[in-house]
Structure 1
Amino acid sequence: MKEGFKVPHTLVLLLSMMLIAYIATWIVPQGFFETTTLDNGRQAVIPGTYTLADTSTHLTPMDFLVAIPRAFAAAQDVIFFVLIIGGVLAIARATGTIDALIGRLLEKFDHKPNLLIFMVVFCFAMASGAIGTAGEYIPFVLILVGLCKAMRLDAMTAVGMTIAGYGIGYGVSAFNPFTVMVAQNVADIPVYSGIELRLAIFLPFVLIGFHHVWSYAKKVYADPSQSLTNHLPCPLANHDEQGYPALNGRHKLILLGLIATICTAVWGISQKGWYLYELGAVFIFWGIFTTIIGQLNADRAANEFIEGVRDLASTALLVGVARGIALIMEDGQILHTLVHAMSSPLSHLSAELAAVGMFIMQTVLNLFIPSGSGQAYVTMPLMAPVGDIIGVNRQVAVLAYQFGDGFSNMIIPTNAVLMGIIGMAGVPYHLWFRFCLPLIGKLTAAAALVLVLAVTFDYGADVQPKVDQANLNATQ
């Protein structure tokens, strides 16, 4: 009997995508937009300036191979943050704190898994929507995996509630400084304008995410064989419910230290512009604090840290390779060609269809430009004037960008944070794709409806800038 199709390893999938991108650089016409430097020092494309490159840049096989270590260098902030978190959490596990916390949470949520799932999705969406948290969720993954396992759920449920909150928070954010603020600045409309609609749709979209995760969790709870991950090893040691230690004074001090660490990270992000290097530093400090309070000797702490890092080496590898896909396209000068090719047809659609088309375009481009702010600088200078011509207000164009960037973050393999989270939980990408694709479909349908209604009711007309139609026509 013939063996059925076997999904390749995630690393094979990513390298295959890099190879496809490399081949595309030999086939797709190479070109670029002219760019201008904005007041904040970032580069943004200039509409109407796309030209084919005078000379083609053909990448050699050596360029392809060199792109892999270059991708590791480009993604080093996420890679090292993941490794640091793995090491520090291993120290915390050695003190018994994580097991004690899981036992305590079980007392509260054992018979209310639906409440746990809703709270995680809602709170993570709130945090992502407010201050753009993403990689900061990685430390919670192992705790949620252990908790779900003890509640007769699985690792997929833990990852589902984490990423659903993260992606939906970015997609419907009211004031994310890394997406909303940047896109509205580039589109030349007041920062944080149109907030009423984004606040109004926040809860309905969160409920879509909650319903999807809970529907799956109910099936697993009733029949563990329905789990997509029941054949995979759990990243945490096996425990019976009676095997969890009591939450003692030392454990509580360590958890207070974790809360203080997270609060410090949030303050640093919002007030000092910190990102993953600084966040890694504060978690290292928490690891030292945990070692002292947990009364671990230095050698034991060092061994635990190294073991935790070793466990996440494969995750770090995937994060690095994922960055290489965009790197190849940038080197081969085809990224702007794709943006130009996808944005040009929008000017021939009705306003309602064009708004949905903008959303789809942003979704596809997020595969190649996984940075939210980077995508805004490349696409919003094009979407704003196209929208002006066909009757899509710039506020609607920004909303389409948010939907496309945020929701697709939950499924694209070039998203380093996604790869870090599923790697931490031991969930292969192809299984996560199978779980997440229906959720993406639901969110896409809801987003398309919101965009059509936004165009119909002239959302953003109050802040739409007056534009020179002659200049707009010149961009076409």
Structure 2
Amino acid sequence: MTQGFKVPHTLVLLLGMMLVAFLATWIVPQGFFDTAVADNGREMVIPGTYTLSDSRNYLTPWDFLTAIPRALAAAQDVIFFVFIVGGVLSIARATGTIDALIGRLLERFGHKPNLLIFMVVFCFALASGAIGTAGEYIPFVLILVALCKAMRLDAMTAVGMIVAGYGIGYGVSAFNPFTVLIAQQIAGVPVYSGLEWRLAIFVPFVLIGFHHVWSYGKKVLADPDASLTRDLTCPLSGTVQGGYPKLNGRHQLILLGFVASLVTAVWGIATKGWYLYELGGVFIAWGIYTTLVGQIGADVAANRFIDGVKDLASTAMLIGVARGIALILEDGQVLHSLVYGMSLPLSYLGAELAAVGMLIIQTILNLFIPSGSGQAYVTMPLMAPVGDLIGVTRQVAVLAYQFGDGFSNMIIPTNAVLMGIIGMAGVPYHLWFRFCLPLLMKLMLAAAVVLMLAVTFGYGEDVQPQIAQQSQQG
């Protein structure tokens, strides 16, 4: 039975999902909400204004084909950032810095892989929860993959550490300016309100992520054949070295430049609104600095940079095609219809179950609207007033949005950052799905319990806008 079945290539899976989305535009009713421009210039939907289109606008096969290059263009910021990081890390490896760093980390953590996994999951979750970092983790992928291979773990363990931290950080964030603050503003509750509850659940959710990754890692350590990626070629040549170069002064200067680049990136994100274009510029500067300090010569650096970019060509294609799924749904005018149709059943549920229903809806919609802030502008104007009618506070509605958006970021193929991470690590999507789905289920179950407890204990009642409640009754 299994001999006759072969899992398609990730690109084939994504194109298949694009085709399903394309066919859905012929079947799902086309309609839209009226929108209004918020104070920050972003459009958000107006509840109660959903109307069906007077006539159906059918997308053609030509629209499907042109959506692919359009999607590549729409995802260009992530694609070019991945190219730059891959090229610059290739330069750094030519200087021997990455191999020396791996050797030093092996001395420190070689016999404590559980400590390494916990530290990575915790630190990445903390950064994502505080300032919304995501694409910034891409530079760490190849380093952690090589480190895990040297520790007799595998690429899946490395990706698990990164993505678990990233997804959990977004899901239980206390401060994330791209999700929590925007959602609270739209819902009409004070920004940063409810902070204590979200801080209280941070460590328990991090421990769920750590336990899942470490449980898998222990199996691989005990039996290398248990690795989901055992038959795959590892990036960075895929061979475990017998010895690593000593971390000398030149290597330390290059690593100091890397740390300075990360500090600059965090400063730019927090104070200047930087994102991937600016971060790409920061890493180009580090690449030039590395070339000079490493004394490898301009031609060698240029060749190594191009080699690093070439290795990530397939990853770039996956990132672009993944963006095409949401693009087709937008072109076919069915995105708002999906949101409207999913929100209707909530009014028939009790408050506790409705909160869990919001979580499920936000999780599903993240497949079609992978942008956290974009999802907030589309869904929160609907979920907040629906919650008013069924006894779910707006603070709980925001929490359900956080959970649904953050946790599903770890598995949805429309998430360009995720596709970039697994692509750089050489992990096919179907294997990542197999690894991540049990983790997602654990997190979703814990999130459902937290939401029901939040409703039971009246989380957010102290900041519930009373005027908004009365207007909905009219």
TM-score (norm 1): 0.98
CA distance in structure 1 between the partners assigned to 2:274 and 2:164 by the alignment: 24
Deviation digits for residues 442-467 of structure 1 (CA, Å, limit 9, x no counterpart): 00100000000000000001100013
2:278 counterpart letter in structure 1: E
Q: Is the 8 A contact 2:149 2:240 kept in 1?
A: no
CA distance in structure 1 between the partners assigned to 2:470 and 2:184 by the alignment: 23
CA distance in structure 1 between the partners assigned to 2:170 and 2:254 by the alignment: 30
Name the counterpart of 1:215. 215
Map 1:67-466 onto structure 2 (within 5 A). 67-466=67-466
Q: Is the 8 A contact 1:103 1:241 kept in 2?
A: no
Give the aligned CA root-mean-square deviation in angstroms.
Answer: 1.0
CA distance in structure 1 between the partners assigned to 2:232 and 2:162 by the alignment: 19
Give 1:237 shift. 2.3
Name the counterpart of 1:41. 41
Give 1:55 shift. 2.1
1:267 counterpart letter in structure 2: W
Which secondary structure state, in structure 2, belongs to the residue aligned with residue 44 of structure 1? strand
Structure 1, unpaired ranges of 5+: none
1:175 counterpart letter in structure 2: F
CA distance in structure 1 between the partners assigned to 2:467 and 2:447 by the alignment: 28
Deviation digits for residues 400-453 of structure 1 (CA, Å, limit 9, x no counterpart): 000000000000000000000000000000000000000001001000000000
CA distance in structure 2 between the partners assigned to 1:289 and 1:60 by the alignment: 50
2:115 counterpart letter in structure 1: L
Give 1:268 shift. 0.3
Distance 1:190 1:469, change over 3 A: closer
CA distance in structure 1 between the partners assigned to 2:82 and 2:470 by the alignment: 51
CA distance in structure 1 between the partners assigned to 2:261 and 2:371 by the alignment: 25
Q: Is the 8 A contact 2:356 2:400 kept in 1?
A: yes
Give 1:276 shift. 0.2
CA distance in structure 2 between the partners assigned to 1:63 and 1:467 by the alignment: 45
CA distance in structure 2 between the partners assigned to 1:89 and 1:240 by the alignment: 18
CA distance in structure 1 between the partners assigned to 2:256 and 2:237 by the alignment: 24
2:460 counterpart letter in structure 1: G
CA distance in structure 1 between the partners assigned to 2:91 and 2:240 by the alignment: 21
Which secondary structure state, in structure 2, belongs to the residue aligned with residue 452 of structure 1? helix
Give 1:473 shift. 4.0
CA distance in structure 1 between the partners assigned to 2:87 and 2:286 by the alignment: 11
CA distance in structure 1 between the partners assigned to 2:346 and 2:135 by the alignment: 34
1:88 counterpart letter in structure 2: V
TM-score (norm 2): 0.99
Give 1:240 shift. 4.5
2:379 counterpart letter in structure 1: T
Q: Is the 8 A contact 2:385 2:469 kept in 1?
A: no
Give 1:3 shift. 2.8
Give 1:345 shift. 1.0
Q: How many residues end up aligned between the 2 structures?
A: 474
CA distance in structure 1 between the partners assigned to 2:406 and 2:186 by the alignment: 18
Map 1:7-26 onto structure 2 (within 5 A). 7-26=7-26
Give 1:330 shift. 0.3
Distance 1:177 1:468, change over 3 A: closer
CA distance in structure 1 between the partners assigned to 2:82 and 2:319 by the alignment: 9
CA distance in structure 2 between the partners assigned to 1:88 and 1:346 by the alignment: 49
CA distance in structure 1 between the partners assigned to 2:260 and 2:96 by the alignment: 19
Give 1:471 shift. 3.3
Q: Is the 8 A contact 2:91 2:287 kept in 1?
A: yes
Q: Is the 8 A contact 1:92 1:290 kept in 2?
A: yes
